[in-house]
A and B are shown apart, each in its own frame.
Chain A
Amino acid sequence: MEGKPDVTVTSANRKFAAITGSGRKIRDNAADWHNLMLKWEKLNEDGLSAATNIVNIRRSLVEELPSSSSSSSSLFAGGAAELQDECSKLQYVVDKLVVVVMKMERLMRLQQGIQDLDEFQFGPEGRMCPLFHTWKTGQFESTSRFLLDIFSKELKLKQTILQELAHTASADLCMVYLSCWLHQPFVPPQTRMTLEALLLETGHRSV
């Protein structure tokens, strides 16, 4: 009897802690989305400080370049090593971001699998009775896809910034790279709301 437990878990007051099957999986996925997005934010901050350092070190190196006395050349070497160091830091951050997006892709595949199972069990319409409050199983999938799209695009942008930042001479372009890194143009304002909606639906946030 697949329908019966569904009826009991949809009651609004009930915590969804003891659920099993698809509901359990979706609930865990929602928590994973939350954690991955937190991790992304943290990495974004780390990356920003590395990126800012890269721009500053480069600027001071360029300023020193015209005076080519022996004392400044050792200074130059020191600056270059520092630059290399910050670039490795940024590389490390971007590598971590790649891992985050890979995990998000995995969540998306899991969600897709749950959706397929749903269709297999209940036909193309999916289950009639929602797993949690109101969402149909397909909505979890579309939410995951929405979030994944955002972070994949943002990751591509960050990878481009990583490649170009230390080789850019124009101060304005450097500024644009930094503000792209900080403001994350491909993460729209409704991202947070979407996550909150997902958490609310799956019972991580109380109604």
Chain B
Amino acid sequence: MSRPTFTPLRQALVKSFQTLESNQKLWASALSECSPLMASLGNLAEQSRALSKVHIPDTPLGTFPDLEQRLRFKLLQAMDTVLGKLNEKMSSLQSVRDAISNQVSTVFQLYEQNRDVLDLPTVTKRSATSPSIADMMEWLQDAERHYQQQFLRRTVLLQMLRADDLSLLESAPKRWKSLESPSAEENITDILCKVSFFMESQ
């Protein structure tokens, strides 16, 4: 077993974990910026709901003829602005997912190319400071799957929203929060801890 054959793979692994580390922070910051936006979306839905429940002509506001339409227009416009901002955040999340996916697929490609030299003992060999190649590849796949799932679930949630479906809009912040999965995030932090010696040794 000549060492140079799988050096590229090791380098790709290191690069993947570096990408994972930096993108984990990007992901968290983009996601934290989404929460207030989701909250204001829910709040706007609440305001629309209140407007629908109130019969304006019977209130002191009845003296303003087209108030209801105007306010409704303003509320829709505000929702539009919030959704636009959410969309921007979603593209940040997407680029995180893409960056990780790209790195991981590079690793798997390299593995496929060098399969004949990477026999079972080689890929499962581990030491006190370095996990085995197989383990690391598995962890990368776990991380990739996590971001992929998170991104898709959140995209689907946003795509289901309709301006005229107030109950859906009102419940959106809650459902957005329910998608959080702290255990998976912790898992990724764990992975990064487990590979820290391996990263330093390379």
Q: Which residues of A contact B (CB under 8 A)?
A: 153, 156-157, 160, 163-164, 170-173, 175-180, 183-186, 189
Contacts and interface: CB of A to CB of B under 8 A. Distances in A.
B54 interface: yes
For the residues of A in contact with B, the DSSP-based class is helix
For the residues of B in contact with A, the DSSP-based class is helix
B74 A185 contact: yes
B74 A183 contact: yes
A185 B46 contact: no
B50 A176 contact: yes
Given A157-B67, A172-B50, A185-B70, A180 B61 contact: yes
Interface residues of B, number: 21
A176 B70 contact: no
A196 B47 CA distance: 30
B51 A176 contact: yes
Interface of B: 46-47, 49-51, 53-54, 56, 59-61, 63-64, 67, 70-71, 73-75, 77-78
Contacts of B53: 172
Contacts of B49: 172
Nearest to B63: A160
Contacts of B75: 179, 183
Given A160-B61, A175-B46, A175-B47, A180 B54 contact: no
A180 B78 CA distance: 13
A176 B46 contact: no
Contacts of A184: 74
A185 B54 contact: no
A172 B59 CA distance: 11
Contacts of B67: 157, 180, 185
A164 B54 contact: no
13 contacts: A160-B64, A163-B60, A172-B53, A175-B50, A176-B51, A176-B61, A177-B61, A179-B50, A179-B75, A183-B74, A185-B70, A185-B71, A186-B70
A164 B173 CA distance: 31
Contacts of A170: 54
B71 A179 contact: yes
Contacts of B59: 164, 173, 176
A170 to B, nearest CB: 7
A181 B49 CA distance: 16
A186 to B, nearest CB: 6
Contacts of A171: 50
Given A157-B64, A160-B60, A176-B71, A183 B78 contact: yes
Max chain A Cβ within 10 angstroms of own Cβ: one of B59, B73, B75: B59
Contacts of B54: 170, 172-173, 176
Given A176-B50, A179-B75, A183-B78, 9 more contacts: A153-B64, A160-B60, A163-B60, A171-B50, A172-B53, A173-B50, A176-B59, A180-B67, A183-B71
Nearest to B51: A176
A69 B78 CA distance: 44
B163 to A, nearest CB: 15
Contacts of A178: 47
B45 to A, nearest CB: 11
Nearest to B60: A164
B47 to A, nearest CB: 4
Contacts of A183: 71, 74-75, 78
Contacts of A179: 47, 50-51, 71, 75
Nearest to A178: B47
B100 to A, nearest CB: 40
Nearest to A163: B60
A149 to B, nearest CB: 14
